[in-house]
Amino acid sequence: ETITVQELANRMAERGADLVKALFKMGSPVTLTQTIDQDTAELLVTEFGHNIKRVSESDVDIDTSADVDAAESLQPRPPVVTIMGHVDHGKTSLLDAIRGAAVVSGEAGGITQHIGAYQVSLPDKSKVTFLDTPGHEAFSEMRARGANVTDIVVLVVAADDGLKPQTVEAINHTKAAGVPMIIAINKIDKPEARPQRVREELLQHEIVVEQLGGDVQDVEVSALQKTNLDGLLNAIHLQAEILELKANPDRASEATVIESKLDKGRGPLATVLVQRGTLRVGDVFVAGAQSGKVRALTDDKGRQVKEAGPAMPVEVLGLSAVPSAGDPFTVVENEARAREVAAYRQSVLDRKRTTAAPVSLENMFASKAATTMEFPLVVKADVHGSTEAIVSALNRLSTDEIRVRILSSGVGAITESDVTLAAASGAPIIGFNVRPNAKAREAINRTKVELRYYDVIYHLTDWAKSAMGGQLGPEI
Ligand code: GDP
């Protein structure tokens, strides 16, 4: 009897990445979708302090990670875009302008509904999906929950203001996620606009835009005057083509909840973004720990639709309760199965609540490749000089087997953004003579991110060294 690592992780209510890492330490480098034998599985189960109990297949959660779509079933799908940037640099204006332009061009035929995402059509009839909640907080919260829905980030920078703290945060979050970026230099209509300065400031963050000979697309726009929105959409289209985004539309649908609410008249509503398959009215589903049946689907123009394919956002009516953003939404064969999975997930949630495993050294390693491991960190210090010294000291610890990866480094108190970034990547936060502010403390309690304080650099590097060495294990 064999089992995939992912499925075992589901059964144990542990993170797949942790199992992969444990297996790596045990000398068997495997990926999430590979199978392991029963002996290895039992060893792992005990290693994680669980009791071994064989359960029937129907007791376990849905696992489709091993169920890869055949190449010939894949069809191009629209890219999903998130807009990020500093406050007041024009994220909302840009989202509205793009949607507004689509409405004017006559494609709408309905009244704009704010359901959490919308789609626009390009002249070649291809589509682009925009998530309506701009900013990196929502982006990283979704990632922390395992939902990677964004394909492309549009980073908005006001040409009259240049790079600001939240711009830099957005850059860090985007880089940590490995999502390609397009720079929208906004407010180009303003007399004090200095787009070239924006390009130069980006260089300090290793972003070299095309205008300066790099490969990150940069587009000058004015959300206010609706200037060059086409240019921005073209850039997105081009980036999407490079990414070759594809999905199989002909299968039971898997989607992600991107927004949810309780409507007075209609009850619980969730907007989902279909990842693969086609979602249809009448489908039975599990959303997080809730089950339900699709009673109606509403698109972003308020129209009732019968179905939604990959990357199409739709509002679903027919939930028993309000799910959370980032929850997986999966169509299953029948209601009995849906209830079973929902109940199982609820039991996992209950267990998690009582034994919340903190994000720690144990599960901080990127697991994809068993070749070079990464040691991600978020660093905050009291003065600039310390930050620089710490970052270079930490970087010097990198070896061929394990590489230090500073997701973000900065000066000042530990903020909520630092915490969401760390949580999304399973990284600890280092506070060097600094502490978290109130909001960050809340976020730390919620996410259980590991926080370490230091006031002597070599204490910090000693810890990092032994942590890195310990994770590699003696066999390497
Ligand atoms: P957000 O906080 O990033 O969502 O920014 P908003 O979209 O709310 O815009 C902040 C302010 O900048 C508003 O007063 C907008 O009218 C203004 N604004 C946005 N885009 C432009 C633009 O292209 N040109 C000018 N002149 N003002 C803009």
Residues 164-195: tens digit of each pLDDT: 999 999 999 999 889 999 999 999 999 999 99
| pLDDT confidence of residue 106 | 55
Binding residues: 85-92, 132-136, 186-189
Mean pLDDT computed over every residue of the chain: 86
Q: 388 alpha carbon to ligand 1 midpoint, in Å?
A: 34
Probe residue for ligand 1, chosen from 84, 87, 88 as the CB with the greatest number of ligand atoms within 8 Å = 88
User: What is the mean predicted confidence (pLDDT) over 428-447?
Assistant: 92
**Residue 99 CB–ligand 1 contact under 6 Å:** no
| The residue type at 415 | T
Return the higher-pLDDT residue of 272 and 7. Answer: 272
**Residue 278 CB–ligand 1 contact under 6 Å:** no
Both tokens of residue 421? Answer: 């970034």
**Residue 16 CB–ligand 1 contact under 6 Å:** no
| Alpha carbon distance 13, 61 (integer Å) | 10
Residue of minimum CA distance from atom 9 in ligand 1: 90
Q: Which of 50-64, 115-129, 408-422 has the lowest mean pLDDT?
A: 50-64
Handedness of CA 349, 407, 131, 148 (dihedral sign): negative
| pLDDT confidence of residue 51 | 64
| pLDDT confidence of residue 109 | 57
Model confidence at 66: pLDDT above 80: no
> Element (H or E) spanning 406, and its range?
strand 402-411
Residue of minimum CA distance from atom 16 in ligand 1: 224
Q: 109 alpha carbon to ligand 1 midpoint, in Å?
A: 27
User: What is the mean predicted confidence (pLDDT) over 345-353?
Assistant: 67
User: What is the mean predicted confidence (pLDDT) over 40-51?
Assistant: 78
**Residue 349 CB–ligand 1 contact under 6 Å:** no
349-383 residues labelled b (16+ CB within 10 A) or e (exposed): eeeeeeeeeebebbbbbbbeeeeebbbbbbbbbbe
| pLDDT confidence of residue 124 | 87
Pairing mode, if any, of strands 313-319 and 267-276?
A: antiparallel
Q: Report ipTM (2 d.p.).
A: 0.99
Report the predicted TM-score, pTM, of the whole model to 2 decimal places: 0.72
Model confidence at 464: pLDDT above 50: yes
Residue of minimum CA distance from atom 11 in ligand 1: 88
| pLDDT confidence of residue 369 | 36
For the ranges 18-27, 34-43, 124-133, 181-190, the one whose mean pLDDT is highest: 181-190
Q: What are phi and psi of 382, to 5 degrees?
A: -80, -35
**Residue 189 CB–ligand 1 contact under 6 Å:** yes
DSSP H helix total and E strand total for the chain: 13, 23
**Which residues have C-beta within 8 Å of that of residue 332, sequence separation ≥ 6?**
62, 252, 284, 285, 286, 338, 341
Both tokens of residue 73? Answer: 């079933």
**Residue 4 CB–ligand 1 contact under 6 Å:** no
| Alpha carbon distance 30, 20 (integer Å) | 6
Residue of minimum CA distance from atom 22 in ligand 1: 187
Report how far apart, in Å, the C-alpha atoms of 393 and of each of 30, 372, 377, 454 are.
Answer: 32, 20, 13, 14
User: What is the mean predicted confidence (pLDDT) over 57-77?
Assistant: 73
Tally of CA atoms within 13 A in the half-sphere of 120 that contains its CB: 25
